[in-house]
Each structure stands twice: as structure tokens, then as C-alpha cells.
Chains A and B, each alone.
Chain A
Amino acid sequence: MDGHRFRSPLGRAMGLGSAKAGFGHWWTERITAVALIPLSIWFIASLIAHSGSSYEAFIGWIGSPITAVLMVLLLTTLFWHAALGLQVVVEDYVHSGVKIWLLLATRFACFALAAAGIVATLRVAIGVWTAA
């Protein structure tokens, strides 16, 4: 993330503005938030549409290429957004030596969960594709 995009050359030369990665963090949180609006609404609407449906119907839905792509996008964006948000929460409220470990743990957990969710989605989708 290019954190210098919104800083003027003069401001940069004079050393004004954030010294760290604050801007990139803030901006990425917004990008993922905007992306999550349609993705999360699509997800909730799809879940409602599948209320009470069978395992087979549900698997067939995840297995359709569009659903699989959107699900991977949702998982990526969601856990990216969660990682950024949880980081701020830890930074604001945890001030002991636990802080660095919590920051590491939340970040690792978000990446691991995103990876696990994506692999599970692909496993379902590939199962449907090879069966067809």
C-alpha cells in the first residue's frame, strides 16, 4: 500500500504527516469496508434464499463458479478487514507485554482462517465440478 499518495511533495520533504504506516492501514480498512458491502449483502441474501434447503442443494450452490469466486473474495476481504480492525482494538486497549503477542496471534489467526475457508470452498467446488 502506497502511503504517500495523499501527501504533497513539500509535506514529504519537510517530514510532515505520518512517520509509519498509519495511512495505508486506514485506507485499506476503507477499501475492504467498501468491498464488503456488496459481498456481505450477497452472502446474507444467499443464506436466506437457502433457508431449510438440503445439503445437496447447498453444496451445489457453493460449487457454482460464481459462488466459489464470490466466497473466496468474501473470505479474503472479511479476514483482511478483521485483521486491521482487531489490530486497532488491541493497540488501543492492551498496553502490557501481552500486546505484541496478541497482535501476532490475531494477525496469524485471520490469515489461517482465510486460508482454511478458501481451501474448504475450493474443496466443495472441485468436488462438484469433478462429479458433474
Chain B
Amino acid sequence: MEHFSSKHMRPLSPNIQIYRPQLTSVLSIANRITGVFLSACAVILVIWLIAAASGPDAYLRFHDIIASWPGQILLLAATFAFFLHLCGGIRHLVWDTVRGFELRQIYVSGWIVVVASVVLTVVCWSASLLIAGKV
């Protein structure tokens, strides 16, 4: 088989590029992408803790970077990625109990994940800006 396919350069299944994106497939890959992205953000979390441990100057330098526009956009993306991964993860844990596999249930839970992630991101940022006294 290996020999056959390498000889004729046949395309490998599942030929992702010919499929129309669907909520199910998009959320599936989104869970992986957000997982990788959040792993990168966890590096920033450690840098932040190290900055805090290094003293006020290092902490303020880190704070200034995060408070800049690119920093804020990264933080917003991280917030949304976090909630998408959290809600998507809870959806996976429900599936692990062999529940919610009907096609309709899968779409309903998928849209709940999307809407909940957007709402939670907006709520978190509104609360944060209110507490910081910026609005």
C-alpha cells in the first residue's frame, strides 16, 4: 500500500481542502489551534510571574508592554481563545460521558460554545475596564 501510494502520488485521505467548512469541523480544529495558542500565552504568564518576582521596575516594564495596543489585542485574543477552549473542552467532557451525539445536539452545543465564548469575553473585558476605572 505504502509502495503503491508513493509511486502514484495519490492524495491522502481525508482531503480536508475539498470539504466545505462546517461548525463541527471548524470547532474541532479551533480547539487545537486555541490549545496551541494558549500554550504560547502560558509562556507570557510565566514571564509575568518572573517579572513580578524581579521587582517593581521589571513588573512595570512588563505591564507597559501588555498595556500597549499590540499587548491589549494579544490579551483580547487570549481571552477569547481561553473561553473557546474552556467551553469546547467542557463540550468534549460531556461527549466523554457518551451524551449529546445526536446531530441536532452537536450543532446546538457547538453554537452554545461560540456564543458563550463571545459573551464571556465581552463580560470579562467590561468588568475589567469598569474595575480599572477606564470607563
Once the chains bind, are B132 and A52 in contact (CB under 8 Å)? yes
Given contacts A89-B36, A117-B49, contact A48 B96 (CB under 8 A): no
Binds B, one of A5-13, A17-25, A97-105, A118-126: A118-126
Q: Which residues of B contact A116 (CB under 8 A)?
A: 46, 49-50
Report Cα–Cα, A62/B86, bound state, in Å: 24
Report Cα–Cα, A59/B79, bound state, in Å: 23
Of B35, B45, B86, B131, the residue contacting A52 (CB under 8 A) is B131
Given contacts A33-B89, A44-B82, contact A117 B46 (CB under 8 A): yes
Q: Which residues of B contact A110 (CB under 8 A)?
A: 39
Q: List CB contacts (< 8 Å) of B63-110 with chain A.
A: 79, 82, 86, 89-90, 92-93, 96
Query: How many contacts between A and B, using CB within 8 angstroms?
Result: 83
Q: Which residue of B lies closest to A122 (CB)?
A: B53
Q: Which residues of A contact B50 (CB under 8 A)?
A: 116-117, 120
Report Cα–Cα, A119/B46, bound state, in Å: 10
B124 is an interface residue with CB less than 8 A from chain A: yes
Q: Which 3 A-B pairs have the closest CB atoms?
A: A52-B132, A51-B132, A120-B49
Once the chains bind, are B131 and A55 in contact (CB under 8 Å)? no
Once the chains bind, are A124 and B127 in contact (CB under 8 Å)? no
